[in-house]
Amino acid sequence: MTDKLSSLLVIAVLLPFAGALTNGLLVRYMPRKISGIIASCTITFSFLLFAVVYIAAGNAIRIPYVVQVAPWLFLGDFNAGISFIADRLSLIMALMVTGVSALIHFYSIGYMGGDRGVNRYFSYLNLFVGFMLILVMAENIVLMFVGWEGVGLCSYLLIGFWFSEEEKANAGRKAFIVNRIGDLAFIIGIFLILGYFNSASFISINANSYKIPEMTAFAVTLLLFIGATGKSAQIPLYVWLPDAMAGPTPVSALIHAATMVTAGVYMITRLGSLFMMSDMTLAVIMLTGSFTALFSATIATTQNDIKKILAYSTISQLGFMFAAAGAFAFSAAMFHLITHAFFKAALFLLAGSVIHALSGEQDINRMGGLERHLPHTSLMFWLASLTIAGIPPFSAFFSKDEILYKVFINENPAAHFAPKIAYIMLLLTSFMTAFYIARLYFKVFSGDYKGEKHPHESPRIMIVPLYILTILFAISGPFGMGGGIAHIMEMPAKIFIKNIHLTNTFQRILEPSIASFGSVSSDVSTEILLIFVSVAVAFAGWFSGRYLYYQQISPVVESFNRKFYPLHNLLYKKYYIDEIYEFLIVRPYIYISKGLYGLIDRFIIEFVFIGLLVKIVYVTGFVLRVFQNGYLYKIICIGITGLGIILYFMVGR
């Protein structure tokens, strides 16, 4: 890394902020159209700069390279500065963030073009990318927290973008506050880390993590993980994400699917060596992740709002990533993170395209038959659905399989049962995923159109970015192929090229910058078996969904729903989690606040304490008033008596 490259890197991080400022301050005085172009160009340029840095740096970034920009917080013996870390992990993540962001920015030009506050929108969106880049590139954990909170802030602003609707503003606030709960745990975790390592830098934390005692490691990592559950929408702090769908759809695609919500996974990967020190936490992460995956996938099977389904699907897929992180397969987690960014961003944007086509309709019961009206959208949606379902040869098949395999072979000394339970839950989730996405796809695109508005295909500015994303998620799979798949692929390939040896390119690239145990040996046959199981499950899910929802809803569904009405209702109402939280946390907080204020301020301090003082003063005054009765002669008599007493004591004795 040269100085030139590091300054390019700094420029790349700062560009989105510049874009945000330009859009926020200047564009009010310029034509509205220009704001989208400015915003998209800054992000594209930033992407290009990252690409240049990545390519030019080559092998130099096998070892993390630190770019010091400025000192920031002085924390006693050390300084948490504004400095960036350039290694393959951060640069790949930055490339993904800027790349997907650039596409979504271009899409947004079409999607938000007619909105009055378009410059505000692009300003927030640029600001978000800026903070996300700070999160990703941060060299120390305090600066990461800056990005961490910053993206939460932008998410708040963007969810509440259409602020004049109370519900949407509420959703934004909910997101911010739920995130703050996680952030609270995160910041206490940061204190523990800073206090223990006496440094904020990731490099020294990871290097010294082996010194940390077991219990401290457990506490630190658990706190950080709680922080991650807030940002990455895992149980128990996932509740904000479905509500966050109140924001504009490109925002959902960018923030609530592709980038921000994956921050937790990135953070765990970044601090891999530290997390490695606590098997307990890893078991907790794995079980939480896989349970979240299953939990939200079941909810997704019954929802009717197209964006809500995708939101629960996102939570579920994030669960996969956490399960992989808990299985210590950081490379697999990161790979799924990236493929997920591609296909889930595409799914959201396609959903946005559908919503755009139907002028704001989001209920899938009022769609149907859109295949004929939206040919591009429906084709790409079909591909994306197959991808998320885990059907080969698309990317999610590779990434998800790798996760399933890594979880299956994981051996966690803290909880022996954890990996197997997690595997079963994830396998069930795979089935459900294929099922709900098939339900979504066929309900929206097959059969007859049930709405009133006339659907129209989206403009080219929206379609082109979508095709790029489609290409990405369709072909990116083989870069991260697991050992088993590689083995299968090698067999036919050997006919043409001898000595071919396929490997997991992604893992190889990432290897230097993430923590790993080294390769765990296992026989290829288990892996191949697992591949067939998961492919079978995916197909089973897809075709059962197709069977029940193709063209029209099969009567089986109706009778099933009637027979198992409580179950269906439970899922449809999302396990009543929102209501439970409302009842257990929100209401008590309000009542306790009111009660405490009434009790302490109004009653104890004001009424009892101050009241008592006032009473004492009043009574004293009442008694002493006898002497102050306003008759001149009495006053003088009292005065003379007083004088006499004083004289008696001074002279008389």
Gap between the Cα atoms of 207 and 311, Å rounded: 37
Interactions with another protein, residue window 129-148 (CB under 8 A): 142, 145-146
Q: Is 600 in the site for another protein (CB under 8 A)?
A: yes
For residue 463, count other CB atoms closer than 10 A to its CB. 18
Which among 191-199, 285-293, 434-442, 528-536 is the span making contact with another protein, rule CB under 8 A? 191-199
- Tokens 């299953």 belong to which residue? 294
Q: Is 606 in the site for another protein (CB under 8 A)?
A: yes
Distance of closest approach, residue 652 Cβ to another protein, in angstroms? 18
Distance of closest approach, residue 605 Cβ to another protein, in angstroms? 5
Distance spanning both ends of the chain, measured CA to CA? 96
Residue 76 in 3-state DSSP? coil
Residue 32 in 3-state DSSP? coil
Q: What is the DSSP string of 584-615?
A: IIIHHHHHHHHHHIIIIIIIIIIIIIIHHHHH
Q: Is 646 in the site for another protein (CB under 8 A)?
A: no
Binding mask 148-187 for another protein (x = CB under 8 A): -xx--x--x---x--xxxx--xx-xx--xx--xx-xx--x
- Is residue 319 within 8 A of residue 237, CB to CB? The reply is no
Among 37, 640, 643, 647, binds another protein (CB under 8 A): 640
Nearer to another protein, 70 or 650 (CB): 70
Among 556, 636, 643, 646, binds another protein (CB under 8 A): 636
Nearest residue to 412 via CA among 280, 520, 234, 564: 280
Gap between the Cα atoms of 331 and 506, Å rounded: 7
Q: What is the DSSP string of 511-531?
A: GGGS----PPP--HHHHHHHH
Gap between the Cα atoms of 263 and 276, Å rounded: 18
Distance of closest approach, residue 315 Cβ to another protein, in angstroms? 22
Q: What are phi and psi of 69, to 5 degrees?
A: -105, -55
Distance of closest approach, residue 111 Cβ to another protein, in angstroms? 22
Nearest residue to 124 via CA among 161, 90, 149, 166: 161
Q: Is 590 in the site for another protein (CB under 8 A)?
A: yes
Q: Rg (Cα) of the chain, in Å, rounded?
A: 31
- How is residue 53 annotated by DSSP? H
- Tokens 């149907």 belong to which residue? 368
Encoded tokens for 226: 């709680």
Binding mask 193-212 for another protein (x = CB under 8 A): -xx-----------------
Q: Is 581 in the site for another protein (CB under 8 A)?
A: no
Give Cα separations from 560 to 116, 199, 240, 520, 567 (angstroms). Answer: 46, 58, 30, 44, 10
Gap between the Cα atoms of 554 and 558, Å rounded: 7
Distance of closest approach, residue 182 Cβ to another protein, in angstroms? 10
Q: Is 240 in the site for another protein (CB under 8 A)?
A: no
Among 596, 643, 645, 647, binds another protein (CB under 8 A): 596
Q: Is 623 in the site for another protein (CB under 8 A)?
A: no
CB proximity list for 283: less than 8 A, separation 6 or greater: 326, 412, 414, 415, 418
Nearer to another protein, 73 or 488 (CB): 73
Nearer to another protein, 17 or 543 (CB): 17
Return the HEC string of 117-136.
Answer: CHHHHHHHHHHHHHHHHHHH
Q: Is 73 in the site for another protein (CB under 8 A)?
A: yes
Q: Is 638 in the site for another protein (CB under 8 A)?
A: no
Among 75, 468, 471, 553, binds another protein (CB under 8 A): 75
Which among 30-38, 73-81, 321-329, 571-579 is the span making contact with another protein, rule CB under 8 A? 73-81
Nearest residue to 542 via CA among 393, 394, 390, 396: 390
Q: Is 191 in the site for another protein (CB under 8 A)?
A: yes
Residue 212 in 3-state DSSP? coil
Bridge partner list, 68: 83
Kindly determine how many residues on this chain lie close enough to bind another protein according to the rule CB under 8 A.
59
* Residue environment code for 11-48, b if the CB has 16+ CB neighbours within 10 A, otherwise e: ebbbbbbebbebbbeebeeeeeebbbebbbebbbbbbe
Distance of closest approach, residue 102 Cβ to another protein, in angstroms? 24
Nearer to another protein, 189 or 484 (CB): 189
Which among 40-48, 404-412, 464-472, 598-606 is the span making contact with another protein, rule CB under 8 A? 598-606
Nearer to another protein, 150 or 541 (CB): 150
Q: Is 601 in the site for another protein (CB under 8 A)?
A: yes
Distance of closest approach, residue 155 Cβ to another protein, in angstroms? 12
Nearer to another protein, 195 or 375 (CB): 195
Distance of closest approach, residue 132 Cβ to another protein, in angstroms? 13
Binding mask 88-127 for another protein (x = CB under 8 A): ----------------------------------------
Nearer to another protein, 115 or 457 (CB): 115
Interactions with another protein, residue window 25-54 (CB under 8 A): none
Among 34, 95, 188, 219, binds another protein (CB under 8 A): 188
Gap between the Cα atoms of 305 and 323, Å rounded: 27
Binding site for another protein (CB under 8 A): 70-76, 82, 142, 145-146, 149-150, 153, 156, 160, 163-166, 169-170, 172-173, 176-177, 180-181, 183-184, 187-188, 190-191, 194-195, 589-590, 592-594, 596-597, 600-601, 604-606, 609-610, 628-633, 636-637, 640
